[in-house]
Structure formats: C-alpha cells, structure tokens
Amino acid sequence: MKLLKWSARLSLVVLFVLLPLVGCSTNEATGRSQFLPLSWQEEVQIGAEAAPQFIEQSGGELPDQGIVQYVRDMGARLAAQSEMPDIAWEFYVLDSQVINAFALPGGKVFISRGLMAKMDNEAQLAGVIGHEIGHVTARHGNERMGKAMITQGLILAAGIGGAVSDNEYMQVLGVGTAVGGQLFLLKYSRGNELEADALGVRYMAKVGYNPIGQIQVMEILREASGGGAPPEWLSTHPASDTRISNLEAIITQDYPRYNEDGFYNMGFDSFKQNILTPLNKLPPAKHGASAMLSPAEFEKIVGIPWEHAVGQKCTCHP
C-alpha cells in the first residue's frame, strides 16, 4: 500500500512538471513562450459558450445596428492587421452604462456603450478594440486559465480522474459571477494588460489611427474612477498612470510621428456622426449605473473593509 501511495505521488509530480513543457509554444504576436493547456478549437468553443451569458448579463446588444456595424467594421480592419487575421472574429456593442470592454477566448470582443460615450474620436475606439484583439492574439485567456488550473489542481485531477469539465473551465473564466449588477471576467495579469496595450497600439497604427488615442483612453478611465477605484493590486488592470507611462515610452520609441500633423488619423467628426449622435438618441442603457464598486460591494467581494484595503500592498497579483 505504501509503495502504491509513493508511486501515485511520484506520478503526480512527474505530471505536474511535464505538462507545462508539453503545452508550451511560442506566440507569434508576442514572441514569447507560453503554456497553453487548451487547443485553439477549445478556446473557440469556450468563447462561444460563454458569450450568450456575458451578453445577457450586460444588458444585451445595443439596439442600433448603425453603431454596431460601425464598430464591427473597425474591428474587422484592426483584426486584419493582427497575427490572426483569418479567424472568425466577432464584435459586440453592449447596452450597458458600465465603462467596460473585454474579449473572450476564440475572437469575441465586447465594448459597452458606456465606454464609447466617454470618447470623442475614432483613435480612442481603435485603441480599445485593438487592446482587446491583443488579448486574443496573445492568447491571454488560455494562458491565464492554464495558470489558474495548475493552482487549483485541476490539471492534476484531469490526469488522474479524466478530463476537466466544461463547468470547471467556465468557473476559471468567471462566467456567471455577477456582483452589484457587474459581471466579473477573467483577471489578466498586469503583464498581460501591458502586453495587450502594446499590441493594440501596433494594430491601430497599422490602420492609420494615431496611437495617442490609446493614452487618451487611459486618461478617460482615470477620470471615470474619480478616485474611487480599488488599489492597483486589487484591480483587474494596472493603474492608469502605470499604463500611460508604459504607452508613452512605446509610442515615443516606435511611433515618433504621432505628433506630426496629418500622418495619423484621429477621426473626431466621423466618431461624432456615427457614434455620439445616434447614442444620444437612444433610450437609457438596460444595464449598469456605475463602472466602480461601492465600498459595501467591495467589502462583500474581498472580505475586508474598504478603508483597511486602501494603501495596503500585496504580491499575490502577478
């Protein structure tokens, strides 16, 4: 019996060590090696299964086909410049006031009307969509799920007792987890977010949009927080100041003509005509009243009072 237990433990160790090696591949978009436990087909399937829940819990799709088609056309142009131009990209506009944008594995990209209403030009919109495309091409969802499954022991369980269930994948992704009317998605690492920022700038610049629009989006997010955002280490994204500094360095080095008149497009008039004017004619959004959690909601999720969290430091969020 002791020999069998020792053998089983050894098998677990070997499995834990070898799985990352088996699943590693070099990503064309980022140039770095990743542990990807899911195939591309599995990513597509997970995204397809999760999308209806996200749409339903985020107010549904925007009831203005002109705005929706405008966003889809821009998304298609940006995706065509990515390292994955031939996948079945899908772009959605959510009838939600919550300031948000996100992507699901497999090529599904979402943006809320609440975020678009804060913008005033096409370059900003291109920056947001490009950033979310970057999450897909960098396969951040697959990568984060792999890390989460290793942490939770799901991969080891799969090696012993069968395949990981779809429900377990969904739990890692965060499907169905809603608090205070807000849907919580897969939490990318700070490195993932900064990487997606850089990829978004790459794609928008190739289409001809001024990469400075990406920085303007960070300024919009900073202003929208109104000083009420959680500490950076408890946030899904790095603080806006951190991302702005990183983007300034990238743009100055790689896109020095950003401040040259006429070289890049900002698209103020087109954005106003195709987004802002029709948005103002729509009835109020079906979902969301705020992009930020109240202190009570924060305490409910995290388990500690808001005033105790502010200013603390943590190394648990890579």
Looking at residue 99, its pLDDT comes to 87
In contact, 37 and 23? CB cutoff 8 Å: yes
Across 18-24, average pLDDT: 54
Q: Where are the alpha helices (DSSP H) in the chain?
A: 2-22, 40-57, 65-80, 113-116, 122-137, 140-152, 154-161, 166-173, 190-207, 212-225, 240-254, 268-271, 277-280, 295-302, 306-309
**3 state DSSP class of 223:** helix
User: pLDDT tens digits, residue range 195-204?
Assistant: 999 999 999 9
Residue 47 pLDDT > 50, yes or no? yes
User: Would you state the pLDDT for residue 35?
Assistant: 87
pLDDT value of residue 38: 87
| 47 contacts: CB under 8 Å, gap ≥ 6 | 104, 105, 106, 107, 108
Spatial neighbors of 46 by CB under 8 A, at least 6 apart, are 38, 104, 105, 106, 141, 166, 169, 170, 173
Backbone torsions φ then ψ of 202, nearest 5 degrees? -60, -45
pLDDT at residue 292, as a whole number: 47
3-state secondary structure of 162: coil
Confidence of residue 26 (pLDDT cuts 50, 70, 90): very high
**pLDDT-based confidence at 299, cuts 50/70/90?**
low
pLDDT tens track for 150-197: 665 544 444 444 444 555 555 555 544 433 333 334 467 888 999 999
Whole-number average pLDDT of the chain: 78
- Give residue-wise pLDDT tens across range 53-98: 889 888 999 999 999 999 999 999 999 999 999 999 999 999 999 8
pTM above 0.85, yes or no: no
Residue that wins the pLDDT comparison between 185 and 43: 43
Q: What is the pLDDT of residues 210-258, one digit of tens each?
A: 999 999 999 998 888 765 555 444 455 667 788 999 999 999 999 999 9
Worst-scoring range by mean pLDDT, 46-50, 168-172, 266-270? 168-172
Distance CA 154, CA 163 (A): 9
b (16+ CB within 10 A) / e for 298-309: bbeeeeeebeeb
Q: What is the pLDDT of residues 102-118, one digit of tens each?
A: 899 999 999 999 999 99
Please write the tens of the pLDDT for every residue from 81-91. 999 999 999 99
pLDDT at residue 66, as a whole number: 98
